[in-house]
A and B are shown apart, each in its own frame.
Chain A
Amino acid sequence: MRVTTTVNGTERTADDVWPGESLLYLLRERLGLPGAKNACEQGECGSCTVYLDGEPVCACLVAAGQAIGREVTTVEGLADGQSLHPVQEAFVEAGAVQCGFCTPGLVVAAHDLLARVPEPSDPEIREALAGNLCRCTGYEKILDAVRLAARRQATR
């Protein structure tokens, strides 16, 4: 099957897509965008979080065919050219990145949270990121990063 979808603002087409393929496989293996990660592939870890028509989804739970004619934004599409998005900057600065495998998903989830709730409380941050597993950090520095990003966005 042919899949045509808009990814990070550009229309992309893939041919010979097997109908059982996920959006995650389409992005990673056919469109050269491996930023969304393949940690559990059943919607438990959030490491493959991308936007589908503006809504954060687990790309592993979306069939590639469901993305036809829709807009996908991945972690690769968040930075503005060479300059990192404040959420990305904050993750680096706060030490929220260790192995980093969870990071793309968490960056998208935090990006979504701050777009909806510019000044989230700690409980709100925890609720919003509860679908994203991290095995390295114990989450403390991820909270630090989201707080830092919120402050940065407020002053811009």
Chain B
Amino acid sequence: MTTTQTGARTAGRIGDNAQRPDGTLKVTGEFAYASDLWHDDMVWGVTLRSPHPHARIRRIDVAEALAVPGVSAVLTADDVPGENAYGLEHADQPVLAADVVRYEGEPVALVAADHPETARRAAARIRVDYEVLPALTDPRRALDDDAPEVHPGGNLVRHLRVRRGDPAPTAPVVVSLDFEVGMQDQAFLGPESGLAVPAEDGGVDLYVATQWLHVDQRQVCLALGMPPGKVRLTLAGVGGAFGGREDLSVHVHACLLALRTGRPVKMSYGREESFHGHVHRHPATMTYEFGAERDGTLVYARADVLLDGGAYASSTAAVVGNAGLLGLGPYRIPSVAVDAYGVFTHNPPCGAMRGFGCVQAAFAHEALMDELAAAVGVSPVEIRQRNGMREGDRTTTGQVIDSAAPVAELLERVAAMPLPPPLETSDLRNLPGAVGNTTHGEGVRRGVGYAVTYKNVGFSEGFDDYSTARVRLQVVAGEAVATVHTAAAEVGQGLVTVQQQIARTELGVERVVVVPADTTVGSAGSTSASRQTYVTGGAVKAACEAVRTAVLQRAAVALGGPVAGLALDGDKVVGAGGEVLAGLADLLGDDAVEETVEWRHRPTHAVDPETGQGDAHVQFAFSAHRAVVDVDVELGLVKVVALDTAQDVGRALNPDAVVGQIQGGSAQGMGLALMEEVVVADGHVRNPSFTDYLLPTILDMPPMRVEVLEYADPHAPYGVRGVGEPPTISSGPAVAAAVRVACGRPLRRVPIRPEHVTGT
């Protein structure tokens, strides 16, 4: 047999900056987002929502709405065929409110019509007779004996206790503070949308933007009273998520209308409805205390964290878990006492958002760390390095950190980055207020602030956190093609690219097709908790390995030799020296080799209910930020001049995409520090629009230096470590710290407003 050496390895493997397979469609406008879907004969669905935070529904009269020409259906709670209940962890949320509404914006009725405006006008003609009830809108009152009950059984969603070390510790230096974090919105740009198509078998096909198809399917089935085989979900193009698509939005509503009308139904929220139509980041009220030696070494920490869960449970219990288990930051602390509470109120429901409970806590522990630094006379960097976790340390729950924990190095790296040049006042665009011409430099002070964080990767506390991948290898028109099928939601982060890179790496082929995510393959788990590259990446890797093994076994039989030493490269089977032994086309012919693998990371465990001790997490991810700000201390205007970061990602499968995640995550953290808040007054959202809810623009964002460390986690596929969330956690506290330095005020609430900076 003649042998030839194969050429250079396939481009676009792991570690390469492979380009997105959907990039071209996205720049030409052809990529089909959920709100772009269209079907012959389709009608439009709209939602009627409660104007009250708490009210009893006495009566609903739909007659006038039904009489509007063009209207094909009007539905209320009576029309929900299955259980009128859904929820991520507890099914406590009605599909349509039956007797009581518990927050402003709760869905009450649905209308389908041939034009969205017709549907909206008809919805306005539904007469709902409400008896307005007293609303519980202050979470600090939720656990009082005389507080109105949001649900029977009381207003406590979860209380997590963490106790470790000395129960009555003392220390020579004690610092404490109270801190408040406002409600942040995910503000993904693609509004909640979906298309439900009634099927001939009496079931329904739903095309929808989401983060986890299978958990949606379970809830839709419950509400429709249908088995999973009749409710098929396919991922439609997702315009960002950030946690806000973990809970259902249009899903059941569109299916109900489609099944009633017998026609495809499209639903797509406008921005105002989107603010009411998804959960937000929990507002937090926190009290923290650190005790330390005179050199700043921590002796103990106490924290009391109260999270406003709003009207329904959503993922509040898990957010409380993170705030309680991780909420003292990446520090070595011998004695800890943490109490984290999530409560029901009649405010908008809160749930998942990037950083998930760690974001709120980080503002408090990082502000307090700066207090401690000042109290003992060391720098913010030094105090954090002195107390920072290292590999082998135990967390506040007693879990040993069994891979890299480079807190000190991350700080060293951000501190060593060049500082931006001093303020140049000749160009107004450099100044806080910019071309608003509010200052020419007088009253402008510069501040520098630091923060660090750690975040759990993947689902914790004993959750069975797995993903499923189906991989097929076949030869099409003489070329080897790998097909990867998972139910994992690509929401913009680049998972489709990484799946291709993994398949190219494991199978040696160039052409990899990632087929649309749907429920005809097993669950991939949620696109959240920075977990998909790790868990679905792990599943794709394992499925590719199974395919490769099957192909090489076939090759060994055909070649009459051992499997050992055989490998796949290009469209060939090669030997140990890279010599070509067989072509895949000859070996496989028309056969396809297909394997499906369900893959799990190492198990995690529930924590002790009394002490919160236990190995709750599978992996931790660390990041540090340094922010530089110019603050007009007379007007309270802030310009962020630099926002630099270092993060350990274990191994960067796609370095450019990793940097993109870090930069985007940093921007969201900065937004919470300075401008982003869903303002809720007496249970009413006051700013449900992009006019009044401020998001960072390209003028607000500074240049961002990013240093990526790659300390491989030996327990994770390829050594990867979750990337998406840490930057959102450490960036905001660094910005807040920098503003504190510039203006000299304590600033115990975010987002920081001009009047906080000026003290007026």
Interface residues, chain A, with chain B CB atoms under 8 Å away: 18, 20-21, 28-29, 32-42, 44-45, 47, 74-76, 78-79, 84, 88-89, 91-93, 95, 97-104, 107, 123, 125-127, 129-143
Contact = CB atoms under 8 A, between A and B. Distances in A.
Contacts of B695: 133, 135
A20 to B, nearest CB: 6
B36 A143 contact: no
Nearest to B430: A123
A129 B494 CA distance: 24
B666 interface: yes
Contacts of A91: 23, 27
A103 B23 CA distance: 10
Contact of B240 (A95, A101, A141): A101
A104 B660 contact: no
B436 to A, nearest CB: 13
Given A36-B29, A136-B664, A92 B189 contact: no
A123 B29 contact: no
Interface in B47-86: none
A92 B26 CA distance: 9
B175 interface: no
B698 A126 contact: yes
Interface residues of B, number: 59
Nearest to A46: B697
Contacts of B690: 39-40, 42, 44-45, 133
B272 to A, nearest CB: 9
A138 B660 CA distance: 8
Residue from the set A32, A47, A140 with the largest chain B CB neighbour count within 10 Å? A140
A136 B663 CA distance: 8
B660 A75 contact: no
A132 B695 CA distance: 11
B24 A84 contact: yes
A138 B666 contact: yes
Interface stretch (B500-508, B587-595, B699-707): B699-707
A132 B690 CA distance: 11
Contact of A33 (B20, B29, B238, B696): B29
14 contacts: A34-B35, A34-B36, A36-B29, A38-B268, A39-B190, A39-B191, A39-B690, A41-B270, A42-B271, A74-B29, A75-B29, A104-B26, A123-B429, A140-B701
Given A20-B117, A84-B28, A101-B190, 7 more contacts: A35-B29, A39-B271, A44-B690, A123-B429, A133-B189, A135-B242, A138-B665
Nearest to B657: A95
Contacts of A93: 19
A85 B740 CA distance: 46
Most buried by B among A32, A35, A36: A35
Contacts of A141: 656, 659-660, 663
B239 interface: yes
A97 B30 contact: no
A37 B239 contact: yes
B33 interface: yes
A-B pairs, top 6 by smallest CB distance, nearest first, are A35-B29, A99-B492, A101-B239, A100-B26, A138-B667, A138-B663
Nearest to A139: B698
A135 B187 contact: yes
B41 interface: no
B427 to A, nearest CB: 7
A42 B691 CA distance: 8
Contacts of A89: 27
Contacts of B697: 130-133, 139
Contacts of A104: 26-27, 29
B522 to A, nearest CB: 25
A44 B691 contact: yes
A92 B30 CA distance: 14
A139 B667 contact: yes
A17 to B, nearest CB: 10
Contacts of B663: 137-141
B115 interface: yes
B689 interface: yes
